[in-house]
Structure 1
Amino acid sequence: MGGHDPDRHDDDRAALADLAAAARAALVREIELTGAWAADPVWREAFAAVPRHLFVPYYYVGVVGGYERRWGEHPDPAARERWVRGAYADTPLATRLRDGELLSSSSQPSLMATMLTALEVEDGDRVLEIGAGTGYNAALLAHRLGDDDLVTTVDLDPEITESARRHLAAAGYHPAVVTGDGARGVPGRAPFDRIIATCTLSSVPRAWLAQCRPGGRVLAPLATGLVVLTVHDGQYAEGRFLHTPAYFVPLRGTGGAALETPGLGAVPRRARDDDLFRFLLKLTRGSLDPQEAYALWEREDAPPRERYGITVSGERAWAWLDDPDGPYAWPLAG
């Protein structure tokens, strides 16, 4: 007779929930194999518990000529299954597009696990996340800490914070979700023990140091790497990059993305195409021209990311190779 069959609807939901649980367990096994949380296996439990599919009710997959939207309420059961499986793939998911430009995404889960482990969160820590995204990262933090009030996440876009708040509530988490400029931090919720950014910076906002307890850690994407700074006081922080490459959407509200580097023509193609050379180029933008960067890269035998670091001292901030007071140091833009 047709019409709506509530039993079939419930069966569909149960099947989808079972598929999500199996896909989540497979994702946890996949991340385990990368060694991402080897230094702090407690994160395994958070990734096993937090349902990522609730944070990406729809997302976009690149196809020839543009993007295809996958969503959880699609009328076709096979399409809903594709949505669930995709939600638990170890890949970044495009969640917000405007005129074909990516505004927001859910990061690759194994990279999130690497970042959260490197943050070295301890029980009772107050954590500030810059860039709310879908809310998934804030949920992982809230689960790990066991206290929603210890977690604050901030984003400039009210649409993003509103949907993050909705996703978090659906998954049973209620951290503080704040709409505002992440570069200013959230002074009303400070002080923080840990600050983690999920958007690329050109420099380190001084407001973060002022809002971080002495001995706290700041982890942020910068150039195409991840720098981990130890905060000594509101004026001084220092630390090195992790070995991991990281590509994120730029922090909005503090200037747009940097332009492509001119003058690469004289640099050999093997360097131009090398990830570590491109990292050095981005890190020294405005200080070294490409030929100077190439000469350094050759002389130092293509240094990996972990040989580089950042120091912030008062109004000055600089990147360095091997030693903050050594011969290779460059002022940071911004």
Structure 2
Amino acid sequence: MEPEIEDHITRFLGMLDTAFRRRGEALPERLRRAVREVPRHRFVHRFRADRDHPVEDFDAGRQRHLAAIYSDRVLTHLGPDDAELDSTNSQPSYVLWLLHRLGLEPGHRVMEIGSGSGWLAAVMGRLVGDGQVAGVEILGDLARRSRDDLAALGMANVAIVEGDGAAGHAAGAPYDRAMITAAVWDPPAALFDQVAEGGRLLLPIALAGGAGRDCHVAVLRREEGRFRMLEAVPGGFVRFTGPGQDRGAERCRLDQLPFWPGIGATPSLRRTLPLGARDPARFGGAAYAFRLFLGQTEPGFTVFDDGAAEDLSTSSFGVLDAAAGSVAVCRPGMLLGYGPPAAARRFDAAYRRWAALGMPGPAAFDLEVVRAEQAPRSRPGLWVEMRGASALVWRLPAPFSPPRAGRRTAIRDRPPPAGPTTGIRPPGP
């Protein structure tokens, strides 16, 4: 390897080790070797290091781009017309740390849905040795380019398939390990058939009520036809593409509700609400944790488009009860009700449940991902989110404290209690 490349890779590995140690462990030696043997610059062509940075073309000016490529930052892939593709070369330390959670071993068969540049697939190819890696990429130009880059490195045990990741890649199944590197709303049904019993799946799950790319990144094990969570961390990924995958990111316009003309002239309820009052520009702290809980557990949860907010982190949210013709809208520092009080009552009841349970965030829950037809009914301590072909089953580990009959808890806005109960941490890249 050229000396200047060696210097950059040595510095890069030092960055990765520092990032791993911040998460409580050193960069594993096997992973270090795999990264060294798969130079990142071999998989980067036209890119943008940050959204406000100029277009970079590695092929046209190799030396001056090495520092950016061998840095712990996200690189956005660009097409021939310099338009940003819906794909990124993820922050290396974060995606490698997630990969480490899967526990790849020599001989494993692995599937990566959303293989992008092919760099991570190549790292996996080194880790599995005589095993096989199948990458599925929906962007044709990116898939073809990554195949060429892998071939140039002689990576015979890694194959990139152009296609819709929702279908997986049945030809290489069953897989001992699988991962999706995009935020999924409805986990693809193909995973239930293509991941081997006892196999592990890394799945970034788009959160109802999450802001932007927020997701719940879970490592799950396939057991008896369903996936049970082993661990999870907050994270952020581009959204998975395909029919039904844009759910959870849409916002409801109040004036487009069919019953709005009859109830929308004047709020029937206006109440000060400390949730979000400390930072009127966005919902943070406890307000954001409650918003996520409401999205997990309340079927009527809705994000509203009032024409002012630019993204989901600042949008109003609440409960929509279409059958009752009722809406409860939570804005920073205020709850507004329209029509009958049914929606506001559901909003208040959800808050009392959340407060009585210790104000949990998503990481406090156990999770199962099941086929929709196998989903159980919701009950105290267990909530079911129907996502399409799949369902998310959220369960708080026992013991938990369900709200007592008649108990009233004041809605407040303070940081959730410290420790594993909240699970609310800044999202990764």
* 1:240, distance to aligned residue in structure 2 (A): 5.1
Pair 1:225–1:181, CA change in 2 (3 A): same
Quote the residue 1:119 is aligned against.
102
* 1:23, distance to aligned residue in structure 2 (A): 3.4
Name the CA distance, whole Å, in 2 between partners of 1:189 and 1:36. Answer: 35
Name the CA distance, whole Å, in 1 between partners of 2:374 and 2:164. Answer: 21
Amino acid aligned to 1:178: V
Q: Deviations over 1:228-270 (max 9, x none)?
A: 221124x322215513x2111111123353335559x964256
Quote the residue 2:387 is aligned against.
333
Name the CA distance, whole Å, in 1 between partners of 2:374 and 2:231. Answer: 15
Quote the residue 1:268 is aligned against.
276
2:228 is matched with which residue: 233, 238, 257? Answer: 238
Q: Deviations over 1:257-290 (max 9, x none)?
A: 3335559x96425682246456546545855354
Amino acid aligned to 1:237: F
Quote the residue 1:9 is aligned against.
none
Name the CA distance, whole Å, in 2 between partners of 1:309 and 1:277. Answer: 17
Q: Report 1:1-334 matches (<5 A).
A: 14=2, 16-35=4-23, 38=26, 41-62=29-50, 64=52, 67-75=53-61, 80-96=62-78, 102-147=85-130, 150-174=132-156, 175-223=158-206, 224-233=215-224, 235-239=225-229, 241-243=231-233, 245-258=234-247, 259-261=249-251, 267-269=275-277, 272-274=283-285, 276-277=289-290, 279-280=292-293, 283=296, 286-289=299-302, 290-291=317-318, 292=347, 295-316=352-373, 326-334=380-388
Q: What CA RMSD, in Å, does the superposition of the two structures yield over aligned residues?
A: 3.4
Amino acid aligned to 2:357: E
Q: Deviations over 1:132-155 (max 9, x none)?
A: 1110110110011113x5111101
Pair 1:332–1:36, CA change in 2 (3 A): farther
SS at 1:95 equivalent = strand
Moved more, 149-158 or 301-310: 301-310
Pair 1:182–1:151, CA change in 2 (3 A): same
* 1:52, distance to aligned residue in structure 2 (A): 1.0
**TM-score normalized by structure 2?**
0.63
Name the CA distance, whole Å, in 2 between partners of 1:88 and 1:284. Answer: 42
Amino acid aligned to 2:220: L
Answer yes or no: is the 8 Å Cα contact 1:37–1:43 preserved in 2. no
Answer yes or no: is the 8 Å Cα contact 1:287–1:331 preserved in 2. no
Answer yes or no: is the 8 Å Cα contact 1:125–1:145 preserved in 2. yes
* 1:177, distance to aligned residue in structure 2 (A): 1.0
SS at 1:73 equivalent = helix
Structure 1, unmatched stretches of 5+, are 1-12
Pair 1:314–1:63, CA change in 2 (3 A): closer
**TM-score normalized by structure 1?**
0.79
Q: Deviations over 1:47-89 (max 9, x none)?
A: 233211111123113355xx511222345xxxx4442111121
Q: Deviations over 1:78-112 (max 9, x none)?
A: xx444211112112111136886551101111111
Answer yes or no: is the 8 Å Cα contact 1:91–1:107 preserved in 2. yes
SS at 2:55 equivalent = strand
Alignment length (residue pairs): 310
Pair 1:144–1:278, CA change in 2 (3 A): farther
Answer yes or no: is the 8 Å Cα contact 1:27–1:88 preserved in 2. no
Quote the residue 1:10 is aligned against.
none
Pair 1:296–1:163, CA change in 2 (3 A): farther
Q: Deviations over 1:271-310 (max 9, x none)?
A: 8224645654654585535454655544434424432233
Name the CA distance, whole Å, in 2 between partners of 1:87 and 1:36. Answer: 25
Q: Deviations over 1:4-60 (max 9, x none)?
A: xxxxxxxxx946424433433333333343347659553232223321111112311
SS at 2:106 equivalent = coil
Amino acid aligned to 2:104: V
Name the CA distance, whole Å, in 2 between partners of 1:286 and 1:53. Answer: 46
Q: Which has the higher helix share?
A: 1
Q: Which has the larger radius of gyration?
A: 2
Name the CA distance, whole Å, in 2 between partners of 1:262 and 1:86. Answer: 40
* 1:330, distance to aligned residue in structure 2 (A): 2.7
Pair 1:49–1:101, CA change in 2 (3 A): closer
Name the CA distance, whole Å, in 1 between partners of 2:298 and 2:87. Answer: 25
Structure 2, unmatched stretches of 5+, are 207-214, 254-271, 303-316, 319-346, 389-429
Moved more, 97-106 or 130-139: 97-106
Name the CA distance, whole Å, in 2 between partners of 1:319 and 1:252. Answer: 28
